[in-house]
Structure 1
Amino acid sequence: MKKILMVATNVDQIGDQQTGLWLSEFVEPATEWTHAGFEVTGASIKGGKIPIDPNSYSNELPRVWDGVMEPIHDTAKLTDINPDDYDAIFFCGGHGAMLDFPNNNEISALLDHFKQNEKLIGAICHGPAAFVGNKDVNDSSIVKGIKITGYSNEEEQGTGLAEAVPFLLEDELKEAGASYESGGPEAEHVVVDQNFITGQNPQSTHRIAEIFKEHLS
């Protein structure tokens, strides 16, 4: 059974806005992958229950999500994770990821392991913030020379939070040496390069889940 480590944010506030995980960016891939027979483990830097951005769901959640949310009710701490146990890692989005994913030693170590061992590395929307400031053992950017996507500057401006976030993700990914691609605002867009699979926005979640599954199968 293939095992996927899904990493979510612990941050529940950005400026005066309540934030957290963008729920569909965990649940939609987790649903796809568990139905395919993969094992999903939820993880975060601090562990425990993951805050969910209230803008990412209504009071009525799809029934197909029943049971799939369990891994984010009590996530494992990254310091307790043995990367040898996993075939792939996936960084979920939500604005909270912009605060706790960058410049993190545990994330750097995990990314270095998955990159050096040519295991799948995925990220969606703000999830590629995990590639900002995190380097391999040679002190080189994890995504230097890699084609990737993530939430665009134009999309961030449209949220009204561009002044609240610590940086614009598109700019920082380019600064890290990545070859950034955008499919346009709110357009489904997934980029595959080497062992990296990235999606631009929530609209890309289902497609990235399918592509990730195909590469793991």
Structure 2
Amino acid sequence: MAPKVLIVLTSADEFPGVGKTGWYLPEFAHPWEVLHSKTELTIASPKGGAAPLDQGSVEMFKSDPVSQKFLAEQKSLWENTVKLSDVNAGDFDAIFYVGGHGPLFDLTDNATSLSLIQAFAAAKKPVSAVCHGPTVFLKATTPDGKPLIAGASVTGFSNVEEEQVGLLSKVPFELETELQRVSDGGYVKAAEPWAEKVVVSKTNGIGGPLITGQNPNSGSGVAKAILEALGI
């Protein structure tokens, strides 16, 4: 039987002071391409139903054949998501969070999401995210209340990358700065902005796989690391 992977998308479609937001196309398209034939995928979001696609990502990746094929053929995946509160961690073997700016606004503090992450981690199941997705780990804790990523190596969208897209002064917090703080200095990034960077580490005190990717070009690598962690 194929392992079951829960993919979580944001439900946030508004970026206060900026405009529309959502999840980022290549960060779902490329992992899906890697995972869908080898695992059983369930797509969830905080509100359930249609999860908002960041239209800026459609434009930015219009020359990316994987993203465009996914956009044309797989719309039902994000138009009919399961509500996160209806999900049972025990039914899945790994969890993966797609990025985009949306998760900064509805998944950083989401109690249901945090409980799921903590349940996956406690069971030593892979917990993973890409780009802005690692925001979901900032407030996740171990059973004794310590940060789940304390002492771990971790990556996510860098401050330089945020500055290059013109949003460093607009985001509610700097993801790189916060990941660095919560991990006790464990944040790492690629030598150059936008280069692929995937980090495989261990959750604090639990030892389950923690898999993070830095930016939109790291989605495939995160998905491959998930498969490896699942023994595929």
TM-score bracket, normalised by the shorter chain, equals: over 0.9
Conserved in 1, the CA contact under 8 Å of 2:94 and 2:226? no
Deviates more, 1:173-182 or 1:191-200: 173-182
Query: Percent of counterpart pairs with the same letter?
Result: 37
User: Which residue identity does 1:126 align to in structure 2?
Assistant: H
1:97 equivalent in structure 2: 103
Alignment of 1:11-50 (within 5 A): 11-14=12-15, 15-36=17-38, 38-50=39-51
- Counterpart Cα distance in 1 of 2:142 and 2:84: 17
Structure 1 regions of 5+ residues with no counterpart? none
User: Which residue identity does 1:11 align to in structure 2?
Assistant: A
- 1:107 alignment partner, SS class: helix
Deviations along 1:51-96, one digit per CA (max 9) or x if unpaired, are 1111111478633555444221111111100100000000110001
State whether structure 2 residue 228 is matched by structure 1 residue 208. Answer: no
2:56 equivalent in structure 1: 55
Conserved in 2, the CA contact under 8 Å of 1:104 and 1:134? no
2:205 equivalent in structure 1: none
User: Which residue identity does 1:28 align to in structure 2?
Assistant: H
- 2:193 alignment partner, SS class: coil
User: Which residue identity does 2:19 align to in structure 1?
Assistant: Q
1:182 equivalent in structure 2: 189
- Counterpart Cα distance in 1 of 2:220 and 2:21: 22
Computed over aligned residues only, the root mean square deviation of the Cα atoms, in angstroms, reads 1.7
User: Which residue identity does 1:172 align to in structure 2?
Assistant: E
Deviates more, 1:79-88 or 1:137-146: 137-146
User: Which residue identity does 2:47 align to in structure 1?
Assistant: K
Conserved in 1, the CA contact under 8 Å of 2:199 and 2:212? yes
- Counterpart Cα distance in 2 of 1:33 and 1:166: 32
Conserved in 2, the CA contact under 8 Å of 1:30 and 1:68? no
Conserved in 1, the CA contact under 8 Å of 2:29 and 2:70? no
Aligned residues: 216
When the two structures are superposed, what TM-score results if normalisation uses the length of structure 2?
0.87
State whether structure 2 residue 122 is matched by structure 1 residue 149. Answer: no
CA shift, 1:118, in A, is 0.7
- Counterpart Cα distance in 2 of 1:163 and 1:30: 32
